[in-house]
């Protein structure tokens, strides 16, 4: 019995349903559903060593070698750079896993499955899942004491609405609830709910449960109960990436949902990927057509927007920590306008067929609302239209007030916090933990700029291991106050935004302005390789491993080729890789 099944069974209070729920429980996945180790693939003998390369890994290795040779011939210098950042040469499939749907994926799946019953979003009903660098990592998601009851209550509310109007699930009333009709309706609903990753014994158990329920409590209540147990089943809330074919490749229906959820957060049929199409995914030409089709959907564009907001760690309007007593102009309305500006900017920039990251990081215009004019120092702006910003003060999304305020303190710029964010999320530079027992408070110093206080507080050698990397990224942003206004003074003294960096492949970067610093950094190879990693982590819901280097190398090469920073070209490479199609048993 899985944790999810046992918890659900205990949560049901109505005595009349307990016997039928036992039948449902026996029909669930035989895999561990929530936490712990997943079972071995039923297609692999138990005595097979986990480290033995699968046939799919062998084919991937041959493909990676061919890709390397082509990249080396195309641009030897860029290939050498790609090898420096992603040096692994042996591709290896990721371990098998049960990947729980995120709250967004739950929402989109229910909307597609039960459009008439969907009302309240799970984002409001279910607590936020654990975050890793602001991303929901699928391998970390589970059900626990904090979120299980809210989830089942959300499911129960959906089931109640279906009970009021069961026709979208079953249309057997006219047949006098003929058992053959009931079984067919149950089978169809379960197949759609489980995205066609379902066995005949599972279907039989659910249909038997449903037929018995109709006889006991009537069609409407039985249909509501069917929806309730199906949506709380591990086969609904988890993506089964454990069972594979002998080559280690996911089965067609698994592969289809791996593609659709990875690229769009929606189930296959919601984005036009039918069960018949899944069987054709082994054909490379058809698979590429499918990937292009998925990436052109509104769902894919929305997921890309969600990635940027998570990558930039943009807060929701109610989550800002800016102190209103220090900044009375920072009202809830202004916070909302800040976030809406960034969303509108991303929607506009990502609407292109082939959006470039440079258009996002180096734009000199944005959607400036009436409330943001003062923040930007503009006398007028055309609401709903792109407005030119001061090029000496603004460059791209990193100078958006909403992004800046998301990384500020209640009353200060928190330059260290800004620097840590840039170090980890934009440059992917490793940071250790502060020395044990170290007082991390920056001493107050009247009449000193925040940069001067941080330089003094982090000057000891024991601090420089990290702050040598952190501080420059904070200092370059000191011209922006906590709510994103451009300024030239702090505490009555001139601000010094100058930095000197020697970590870039292009050579030393010395600047005296945030705009110059951002232009140099966002054009650099180090920034681009980090962006590739961040997209990989977000879309796959896990950290990269050594065996991912060959596909990461191809993604980086495609992204950085000719300075285009083509986002969708990079995603196409990821979608066509074994990272989405193959899994291996861990030893």
The last residue of a domain, from among 238, 255, 280: 238
- Backbone φ and ψ of 414, nearest 5°: 50, 60
The last residue of a domain, from among 470, 498, 522: 522
Longest dimension (CA), the chain: 85
Residue 49: pLDDT band with limits 50, 70, 90? very low
Take residue 236 and report the two structure tokens written for it: 């609904």
pLDDT over 80 at 26, yes or no: no
Whole-number Cα distances in Å, 448 to 426, 453, 496: 29, 6, 12
510 lies in some domain: yes
What pLDDT is attached to residue 407? Answer: 97
Q: Are residues 386 and 454 in the same domain?
A: yes
What pLDDT is attached to residue 56? Answer: 59
Q: Are residues 182 and 202 in the same domain?
A: yes
Query: Up-side HSE of residue 404: CA atoms within 13 Å toward CB?
Result: 27
What pLDDT is attached to residue 19? Answer: 34
- Backbone φ and ψ of 386, nearest 5°: -65, 135
Dihedral Cα 411, 413, 416, 419, nearest 10 deg: 150
Task: Report whether 161 contacts 17 (CB < 8 A).
Answer: no
Task: Report whether 366 contacts 400 (CB < 8 A).
Answer: yes
- Give this prediction's pTM: 0.90
Burial class, 332, CB count within 10 angstroms (exposed 0-12 / middle 13-18 / buried 19+): exposed
Residues 542-560 as b or e (16 or more Cβ within 10 Å = b): bebeebbbbbbbbbbbbbb
What residues pair up with 387 in beta bridges, in sequence order?
366
Length of the chain: 587
Cα–Cα distance measured from residue 512 to residue 470, given in angstroms and rounded to the nearest whole number: 17
Query: Up-side HSE of residue 332: CA atoms within 13 Å toward CB?
Result: 1
305 lies in some domain: no
Q: Are residues 135 and 162 in the same domain?
A: yes
Residues 114-132 as b or e (16 or more Cβ within 10 Å = b): beebbeeebeebbeebeee
Q: Are residues 121 and 89 in the same domain?
A: no
Q: Are residues 376 and 387 in the same domain?
A: yes
Question: pLDDT tens digits, residue range 509-527?
Answer: 999 999 999 999 999 999 9
Choose the weakest-confidence range: 34-43, 74-83, 394-403, 512-521: 34-43
Proportion of the chain in helix, strand, coil states, percent, rounded to 5: 55, 5, 40
Task: Report whether 54 contacts 584 (CB < 8 A).
Answer: yes
554 lies in some domain: no
Take residue 256 and report the two structure tokens written for it: 């289809």
Q: How many domains does the chain have?
A: 3
Q: Are residues 67 and 202 in the same domain?
A: no
What pLDDT is attached to residue 445? Answer: 73
Question: pLDDT tens digits, residue range 101-118?
Answer: 999 999 999 999 999 999
What pLDDT is attached to residue 60? Answer: 75
- Backbone φ and ψ of 447, nearest 5°: 70, 20
**What is the span of the domain harbouring residue 125?**
3-39+96-238
More confident residue, 215 or 46: 215
Q: Are residues 376 and 389 in the same domain?
A: yes
What pLDDT is attached to residue 455? Answer: 92
Question: pLDDT tens digits, residue range 234-268?
Answer: 999 999 998 888 888 999 999 999 999 999 999 99
Q: Are residues 7 and 62 in the same domain?
A: no
pLDDT over 70 at 192, yes or no: yes
Choose the weakest-confidence range: 439-443, 452-456, 458-462: 439-443
The last residue of a domain, from among 522, 541, 560: 522
What pLDDT is attached to residue 54? Answer: 56
The predicted model gives 169-194 an average pLDDT of 89
Percent pLDDT > 70 in the chain is 88
Spell out the residues 6+ positions from residue 80 whose beta carbon is closer than 8 angstroms to its own: none
| Mean pLDDT for all residues in the chain | 88
Whole-number Cα distances in Å, 377 to 320, 380, 393, 484, 550: 22, 9, 10, 11, 47
558 lies in some domain: no
Q: Are residues 176 and 324 in the same domain?
A: no
Tokens 């009202």 sit on residue: 331
Q: Are residues 319 and 230 in the same domain?
A: no
Cα–Cα distance measured from residue 271 to residue 260, given in angstroms and rounded to the nearest whole number: 7
308 lies in some domain: no
424 lies in some domain: yes
Residue 382: pLDDT band with limits 50, 70, 90? confident
The predicted model gives 76-97 an average pLDDT of 94
pLDDT over 60 at 11, yes or no: no
Residue 55: pLDDT band with limits 50, 70, 90? low
Q: Are residues 231 and 373 in the same domain?
A: no
Which among 78, 58, 151 is positioned nearest to 560, based on CA atoms? 78
Task: Report whether 552 contacts 532 (CB < 8 A).
Answer: yes
What pLDDT is attached to residue 214? Answer: 93
31 lies in some domain: yes
Q: Are residues 215 and 336 in the same domain?
A: no
The one-character DSSP state at 118 is -
Question: pLDDT tens digits, residue range 395-418?
Answer: 999 999 999 999 999 999 999 999
The predicted model gives 181-190 an average pLDDT of 95
C-alpha dihedral sign at 314, 315, 316, 321:
negative
Residue 434: pLDDT band with limits 50, 70, 90? confident
49 lies in some domain: no
What pLDDT is attached to residue 461? Answer: 87
In 314-449, which residue ranges form alpha helices assigned H by DSSP? 332-349, 357-361, 373-376, 401-406, 415-421
More confident residue, 78 or 173: 78
Take residue 148 and report the two structure tokens written for it: 């299980």
What pLDDT is attached to residue 436? Answer: 72
The predicted model gives 59-76 an average pLDDT of 91
Residue 325: pLDDT band with limits 50, 70, 90? very high
The one-character DSSP state at 233 is S
């Amino acid at each position: 019995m899985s944790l999810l099944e046992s918890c659900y069974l205990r949560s049901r209070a109505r005595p009349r349903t307990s016997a039928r729920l036992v039948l449902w429980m026996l029909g669930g996945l035989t895999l561990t559903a929530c936490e712990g180790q997943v079972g071995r693939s039923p297609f692999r003998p138990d005595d097979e060593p986990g480290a033995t390369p699968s046939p799919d890994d062998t084919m991937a290795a041959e493909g990676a070698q061919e890709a390397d040779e082509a990249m080396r011939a195309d641009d030897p210098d860029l290939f050498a750079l790609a090898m420096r950042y992603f040096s692994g040469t042996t591709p290896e499939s990721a371990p098998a896993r049960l990947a729980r749907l995120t709250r967004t994926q739950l929402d989109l799946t229910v909307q597609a499955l039960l459009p008439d019953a969907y009302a309240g979003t799970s984002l409001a009903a279910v607590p936020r899942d654990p975050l890793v660098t602001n991303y929901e990592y699928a391998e970390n998601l589970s059900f626990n004491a904090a979120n299980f009851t809210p989830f089942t209550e959300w499911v129960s509310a959906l089931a109640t609405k279906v009970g009021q109007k069961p026709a979208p699930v079953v249309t057997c009333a006219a047949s006098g609830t003929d058992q053959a009709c009931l079984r067919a309706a149950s089978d169809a609903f379960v197949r759609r709910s489980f995205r066609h990753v379902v066995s005949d014994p599972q279907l039989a158990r659910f249909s038997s449960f449903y037929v018995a329920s109709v006889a006991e409590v009537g069609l409407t209540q039985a249909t509501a109960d069917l929806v309730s147990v199906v949506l709380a089943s591990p086969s609904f809330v988890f993506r089964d990436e454990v069972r594979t074919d002998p080559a280690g490749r996911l089965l067609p229906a698994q592969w289809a949902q791996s593609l659709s959820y990875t690229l769009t957060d929606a189930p296959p049929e919601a984005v036009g990927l039918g069960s018949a199409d899944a069987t054709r995914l082994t054909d490379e030409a058809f698979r590429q057509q499918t990937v292009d089709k998925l990436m052109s959907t509104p769902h894919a564009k929305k997921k890309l927007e969600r990635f940027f907001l998570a990558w930039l760690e943009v807060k929701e309007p109610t989550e800002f920590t800016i102190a209103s007593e220090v900044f009375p102009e920072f009202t809830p309305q202004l916070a909302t306008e800040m976030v809406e500006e960034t969303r509108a900017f991303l929607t506009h920039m990502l609407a292109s067929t082939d959006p470039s990251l440079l258009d996002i990081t180096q734009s000199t215009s944005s959607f400036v609302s009436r409330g943001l004019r003062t923040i930007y120092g503009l006398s007028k702006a055309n609401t709903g239209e792109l407005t030119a910003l001061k090029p000496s003060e603004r460059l791209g999304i990193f100078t958006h007030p909403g992004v800046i305020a998301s990384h500020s303190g209640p009353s200060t710029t928190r330059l260290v916090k800004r620097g840590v964010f840039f170090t980890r999320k934009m440059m992917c530079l490793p940071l250790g933990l502060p020395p044990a027992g170290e007082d991390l408070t920056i001493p107050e110093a009247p009449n000193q700029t925040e940069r001067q206080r941080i330089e003094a507080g982090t000057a000891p050698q024991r601090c420089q291991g990290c702050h040598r990397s952190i501080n420059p990224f904070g200092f370059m942003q000191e011209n922006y106050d906590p709510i994103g206004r451009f300024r030239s003074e702090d505490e009555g003294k001139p601000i010094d935004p100058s930095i000197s960096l020697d970590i870039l492949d292009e050579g030393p970067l010395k600047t005296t302005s945030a705009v110059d610093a951002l232009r140099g950094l966002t054009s650099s190879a180090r920034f681009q390789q980090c962006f590739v990693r961040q997209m990989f982590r977000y879309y796959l819901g896990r950290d990269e491993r050594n065996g991912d280097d060959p596909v990461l190398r191809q993604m980086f090469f495609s992204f950085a080729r000719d300075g285009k920073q083509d986002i969708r070209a990079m995603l196409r490479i990821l979608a066509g890789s074994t990272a989405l199609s193959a899994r291996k048993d861990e030893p």
